[in-house]
Every structure is written in structure tokens, then in C-alpha cells.
Amino acid sequence: MDPELNTINGVIEGACKITNSDNLETTKLVRDSQNITKQFTRNLPESVSSLSGRKNRLLRRCFTLYGRLRRPQLRRAAIGALEQIPDIRMLRSALGYLIKLDYIYHDRIVADLIALLNAGDLPFPYQVAVTIEALGRTAPSEPLRLASQLRTLGLTGQGHWYVRQKTLEAILQLPYRQESAERLAAAALDHENPWVRRAGGALLSRGRAEWVRETVGNVLIYHPDPELSRVALFWQRHLVDIAFANREITNLFRSGRLDVTFLRRLKVIYLLRCNSVIATQIVRVSVSIFQIAKFGSAMALRRNCFLNCGQ
């Protein structure tokens, strides 16, 4: 048995029992783990390169602990691990930790991840795609700028299809100009890869309301890709079925407060504002969703994703 791993696992069990507001207990757990984590935080990036299998797992468990506690002490170690360790498990663990940190750190995290992508330090398409996916779940102070950066990184040239898919999905979750979203969605719908086409089918919800209604009703429903056509039929219900749309509005208020819930429901909100009958209702609902209790997550407020339903 590994005593260091057992210690970290015990601290994680303690972290599961505390509330977010218990700062004293959180600080105590961080101190309990520092004798182990200091081997990864000192002498970077050498301290996280060429890790043995045991040390690799130990570092990933440390990311799990500090992500649950939302403490930034391992932020530089996580960036170093992304650069030094081409391991799928480490990739997801480090990125998962980074996006769980408080939003005051997200500007720096976004800058570090964009720098890694621009420098080509992530050599495999899977690494690039998963990193772009994680960037779409961050809440920087300039999300519109981030969307433009992701477009440049993932949609220029003849990039790998998985990178293109994750880039389109990330842009869907960030503020973006409607006309620009329409162009990206239209190009994706003509792509040879079915997963890129489906990502484009999701992104089209970010276009102008009239364009969305016309594209879904006159183009997407008759698309030769049967999976995409099936999705279009579901989109169409949001646009023309008033009873179904009202049920979806009710479900929005019943949704949880977690940011992952916000991101999951974002497509629905943008589709509903294209329903010409209930568009004015969505104007009132969207303000409540993004500002009040049930959907008042910090990410929603940070991104300032209010809907202009008059378009």
C-alpha cells in the first residue's frame, strides 16, 4: 500500500463532508495535504515530468482534492502536467481541476491554456480538443474574445475533425455574434464528418431567430444525415409547439444552480427565444434565469448572456 496515497484519500473523504462555507476546515485539510503536494509544486516543471505510475496517480488524486476544495495551490502544477505528461487521465484530471477553481483565477488559466495551444505543446489532436472543450467551460472576464481565439485555433485550415467538433461546442457555450455563429454552423453542416455536422446543428441555435426558424424548418429537417434530421425534429418542437415550449420554460426554473446545468440548458434557452409566440415571455424569463436564485450561477452573471429576443 502507498501511505501517501492513503493519506490523500483520507483527506478527500474529509473534504466530502464539509460545506463550501466552512473555510476553517478547508484550510485545515489543505495543510494536512501540503507535505505530500509540495513535491509537485516545487521545482516546476521538472517536479511533474517523468512521473512513475504511482506518482502519476498520486498527483491526479491531489487534483481531485484541491478541485473539490476549490483551492489554487496546484494551478501551476496542473499547467506543467499538461505540458509535460501526454497522458489521457492526467489531461482530464488537470483540466477538471482548473475549471473548478474560483472564477477570479479563470483569466490566468485561460491565458495559460491558450499559450499551450499556440505554442504547440499539446501534440495530439485529442489533447487539443479536450483542452478547447475545457476552455468553453471557463468564465473569463472577456468571453467574447475567448470565442474568437478558439475559432482561430480550432476551425482554421484542415484540422482534425474532433478538434473542430469540440471547438464548435465550446463556441456554443460562449457569447458570440449571431451572424458569425450562422456562418460557422452553415459550414459545419456541410462537413464530411457526422460529428462535426451535429455540432453545427447545435450551434445554429445561436443564430438570428428568423434564420434559425427557416434553417430548422426548411433545411435541417430534410438533411440526408438521419441523426441530424432527428435532432432537427426535436428543435422544431421548441419552435412551433407552444405546450412543449412552455413545459421547457417550467423545467428551466426547476433546474439546479450548478454551472454544468447552466451550460447544458443553454441551447434550449436560445432555441426558445426563436419561438415567435413565446418570445416576449422568454425576455422576462431569461432575466430571472440568469439573475435570480434557481439559475443565478456566477458563470451566467459573468458571461452576461442575456437574450435579445426581438431579433
How far, in Å, CA of 224 to CA of 91, rounded?
Answer: 36
Q: Which residue has the cell 474574445?
A: 145
CB 306 within 8 A of CB 286: yes
The rounded distance, in Å, linking the Cα atoms of 286 and 174 is 16
Q: Whats the size of the chain, residue-wise? A: 311
Euclidean distance between CA atoms 45 and 1, whole angstroms: 27
Angle at 200 between CA 198 and CA 206, to 5 degrees: 130
DSSP run (H or E) holding 85 = none
**pLDDT beyond 90 at 262:** no
pLDDT of residue 116: 94
Torsion of Cα atoms, 10 then 106 then 309 then 273, to 10°: -30
Interatomic CA distance for residues 75 and 73, integer angstroms: 6
Which is more confident, 129 or 286?
A: 129
Percent of the chain with pLDDT over 70: 87
Which has the higher per-residue pLDDT, 301 or 262? 262
* Higher pLDDT among residues 50 and 188, named by residue: 188
What pLDDT, on a 0 to 100 scale, did the predictor assign at position 45?
84
Q: Where do the structural domains in the chain lie, given as residue ranges?
A: 1-101, 241-311
Encode pLDDT of 278-302 as tens digits.
Answer: 776 665 555 554 444 334 455 655 5
Dist CA 173 CA 132 (whole Å)? 12
Contact indicator for 239, 271 with CB cutoff of 8 Å: yes
Maximum average pLDDT range among 226-235, 254-263, 285-294, 295-304: 226-235
Helix (H) or strand (E) holding 32: helix 23-41
- Weakest-pLDDT range from 47-56, 122-131, 186-195, 282-291: 282-291
Q: Which of 77, 108, 117 is nearest to 94 (CA)?
A: 77
Give pLDDT, residue 12.
92
DSSP label at residue 220: G
Most confident of 107-111, 144-148, 247-251: 107-111
**Amino acid 295: pLDDT:** 43
- Summarize the chain as % helix, strand, coil (round to 5): 75, 0, 25
d(CA 97, CA 181): 30
Is the pLDDT score of 306 beyond 50? Answer: no
Beta carbons of 268 and 248 less than 8 angstroms apart: yes
Q: Please give the radius of gyration of the chain, using alpha carbons only, rounded to the nearest integer.
A: 21
Q: For residues 239 and 222, what is the distance between their CA atoms, to the nearest angstrom? A: 16
% of the chain exceeding 90 in pLDDT: 55
Predicted pLDDT of residue 286: 55
Tens-place pLDDT, residues 20-33: 656 888 888 999 89
pTM: 0.86
Q: Using 50, 70 and 90 to split pLDDT, how confident is the model at 111?
A: very high
Q: If we measure between CA atoms, which residue out of 195, 187, 274, 271 comes closest to residue 228?
A: 195
